[in-house]
Amino acid sequence: MKSTHLLIVEDEHALARALAATVEQAGASSDIAATATQARKLLKSGATAYAAMILDIGLPDQNGLEFLDSLGEDFDLPTIIVTAHGEIQNTITARKLGAVEFFQKPIDFDAFNQSLKRIISSMQSQKEPTGPQAADTAAYIGAARAMRPVFQQIAHCCASDEPVLVRGEIGSGKSHTARVIQSYGMRGHEHTCTFVAGPSTTIAELEEALAEAEGGALIMEDVGQLGDTVQAELVRRIESQSSSTFPRLIATTSEDLHQAVKEGHFRSELFYRLQILEVRLPPLRHRMEDLPALVSFFLGQLKNDFHVSVSDAAMDLLLQYDWPGNLRELHNAMAFALTVNSEATVIDTPHLPSHLNTQSDRPRTNPLPGPLLNEMSAWLDQYFESNKAPSYRELEDHLEKALVEQLLERYNGKLAPMATALQANRSTLRRKLRTKDN
């Protein structure tokens, strides 16, 4: 059995040693980093393949959650969060970033040890990669309507040599999409460099990445995190390029760069140079019809030695959740369920992470189901892609007309009983039905 290595990111020396001892008792080894900077160097060096990370939020040089977010999807490790502050916002953010457990100081080491043993046992029994590769590959599983334009956008990018901006929420598969575009693009056999941007990125680091990717492609993760000085230098390098060996730029972002430009946080000249081509990945909540297939895919990746199914009740819980962490969070939820239920062949509701079983903890952001939101998004795209600038009132009128028409069918076309039952004004409903389509 291969040794399992964990990375402990904790600045309190005594606690770090206690965590390391607990890891050793659970049958694994560990390295300790006292700062986010040290942890980043250990991860990027590649000297040790870490299977998971124990991360404190209160680090001396960077907030732990910000550090986790800045790593990008290429360093998507199952993470146990420890913190002295158990605010609900920290919990939600940690879940969004894919954290599998959340412990508040002082740590209950009995509970921590049990959780750690389950996670390590699951890792040691896995025979296939289950980290970011599994979650990223799943980006293309399923047949939801929201994914159809994505495939077209990727095809356009692969047939071109222009810069690309890949947009999507955390955990939606941006890194994998960038690599697909690079692999099947016009420079697919040329050298590629992946560069994770951050507020502390220097011009020297940018120049080193550009030089390494010369003649090929430079994948720039989280490009919205670049500082203003480095943004300006990148613009200068793009404008001054005089050789065909200048790398093709494929940038990813989970931020709304258009809004960042308006607020003065991102240079407009860089935004428009990167957004020549664009891929917009939908969040998981907008492609929920794919969720059963995604669950099956992850379970197959995580437990390929025998078949594991999901009960109807558990699937209902999964379908009701908003998945702010998208594919990454779903993958980690399935990994958690298998550690809790390592021997059984059916995953039921008690095996799911606790926040999925607690109604009040579900961060539901929209009461409408994903497929409906998906259709609405496609409808809005038609408006804006036809160079129209509809007023909000115009959009509202069309939506209300469609709603009234649907309701009218349920009342056999009789407006008066419908108005009475819904406590609505009959004249108002009649007026909405007369709204003219464009």
CA angle 269, 271, 275 (to 5 degrees): 125
Both 172 and 254 in one domain: the answer is: yes
Lowest mean pLDDT of 4-13, 47-56, 120-129, 392-401, name the range: 120-129
Both 106 and 204 in one domain: the answer is: no
pLDDT (0 to 100) of residue 398:
84
Span 427-437, pLDDT tens digits: 888 888 876 55
Both 110 and 179 in one domain: the answer is: no
What confidence category does residue 166 fall into, taking pLDDT thresholds of 50, 70 and 90? very high
pLDDT (0 to 100) of residue 274:
94
Own/partner pairs for 347-356, CB < 8 Å, 24+ apart?
Answer: 347/299, 347/308, 347/309, 347/310, 347/311, 347/314, 348/311, 348/313, 348/314, 349/311, 349/313, 349/314, 349/317, 351/314, 352/314, 352/317, 352/318, 353/95, 353/100, 355/91, 355/95, 356/317, 356/318, 356/321
For the chain, how many structural domains are there in total? Answer: 3
Both 117 and 182 in one domain: the answer is: no
Both 163 and 208 in one domain: the answer is: yes
pLDDT (0 to 100) of residue 9:
95
Which residue, of 125, 155, 170, is where some domain finishes?
125
Q: Is the pLDDT of residue 360 over 70?
A: no
Structural domain boundaries, residue 231: 145-281
pLDDT (0 to 100) of residue 436:
55
Q: Are 82 and 56 in contact (CB under 8 A)?
A: yes
- Does residue 361 lie in a domain region? no
Nearest-angstrom CA–CA distance, 102 and 54: 10
Nearest-angstrom CA–CA distance, 99 and 102: 7
CATH number of the domain enclosing 228: 3.40.50.300
Both 275 and 190 in one domain: the answer is: yes
Q: Is the pLDDT of residue 71 over 70?
A: yes
Q: Residues 6 or more apart from 284 whose CB is under 8 A from it?
A: 172, 290, 291, 294, 323, 326, 327, 330, 370
Nearest-angstrom CA–CA distance, 173 and 291: 15
- Does residue 322 lie in a domain region? no
What confidence category does residue 220 fall into, taking pLDDT thresholds of 50, 70 and 90? very high
Q: Is the pLDDT of residue 95 over 60?
A: yes
Q: Is the pLDDT of residue 362 over 50?
A: no
- Does residue 286 lie in a domain region? no
Q: Which has more confidence, 349 or 357? A: 349
Both 87 and 174 in one domain: the answer is: no
Q: Which has more confidence, 209 or 301? A: 209
Prediction pTM value = 0.61
Burial of 199 (0-12, 13-18, 19+ CB in 10 A): exposed
Cis? peptide before 367, omega within 30° of 0:
no
Q: Is the pLDDT of residue 438 over 50?
A: no
Span 303-345, pLDDT tens digits: 766 788 899 999 988 988 889 889 988 988 888 888 777 677 8
pLDDT (0 to 100) of residue 109:
84
CA-closest candidate to residue 140, choices 111, 113, 179, 96: 179
Angle in degrees, 0-180, between the axes of helices 426-433 and 415-422, rounded to the nearest 10: 120
Q: Which has more confidence, 218 or 76? A: 218
What confidence category does residue 385 fall into, taking pLDDT thresholds of 50, 70 and 90? low
- Does residue 308 lie in a domain region? no
Span 250-307, pLDDT tens digits: 999 998 898 899 999 999 999 999 999 999 999 998 888 889 989 988 888 887 667 8
Q: Is the pLDDT of residue 126 over 80?
A: no
Q: Is the pLDDT of residue 234 over 90?
A: yes
Both 157 and 252 in one domain: the answer is: yes
pLDDT (0 to 100) of residue 88:
64
pLDDT (0 to 100) of residue 143:
74
pLDDT (0 to 100) of residue 173:
87
pLDDT (0 to 100) of residue 188:
64
- Backbone dihedral region of 171: left (phi > 0), alpha (psi from -120 to 50 degrees) or beta? left
Both 121 and 150 in one domain: the answer is: no
- Does residue 186 lie in a domain region? yes
Mean pLDDT of 41-69: 87
Which residue, of 62, 92, 125, is where some domain finishes?
125
- Does residue 154 lie in a domain region? yes
Q: Which has more confidence, 341 or 183? A: 183
SS3 letters across the chain: CCCCEEEEECCCHHHHHHHHHHHHHCCCEEEEECCHHHHHHHHHHCCCCCCEEEEECECCCCEHHHHHHHCCHHHCCCEEEEECCCCHHHHHHHHHCCCCEEEECCCCHHHHHHHHHHHHHHHHHCCCCCCHHHHHHHHHCCCCHHHHHHHHHHHHHHCCCCCEEEECCCCCCHHHHHHHHHHHCCCCCCCEEEEECCCCCCHHHHHHHHHHCCCCEEEEECHHHCCHHHHHHHHHHHHHCCCCCCCEEEEEECCCHHHHHHCCCCCHHHHHHHCCEEEECCCHHHCHHHHHHHHHHHHHHHCCCCCCEECHHHHHHHHHCCCCCHHHHHHHHHHHHHHHCCCCCEECHHHCCHHHHCHHHCCCCCCCCHHHHHHHHHHHHHHHHCCCCCCHHHHHHHHHHHHHHHHHHHCCCCHHHHHHHHCCCHHHHHHHHCCCCC
Span 132-150, pLDDT tens digits: 444 556 777 777 778 888 8
Both 159 and 112 in one domain: the answer is: no
- Does residue 385 lie in a domain region? no
Enter the tokens of residue 94.
């940690």
pLDDT (0 to 100) of residue 231:
95
Mean pLDDT of 29-54: 87
Both 11 and 119 in one domain: the answer is: yes
Span 184-194, pLDDT tens digits: 888 766 677 88
Both 116 and 168 in one domain: the answer is: no
- Does residue 15 lie in a domain region? yes
Q: Is the pLDDT of residue 125 over 70?
A: no
pLDDT (0 to 100) of residue 129:
41
What confidence category does residue 115 fall into, taking pLDDT thresholds of 50, 70 and 90? confident
**What percentage of the chain exceeds 90 in pLDDT?**
24
CATH number of the domain enclosing 61: 3.40.50.2300
Which residue, of 281, 312, 344, is where some domain finishes?
281
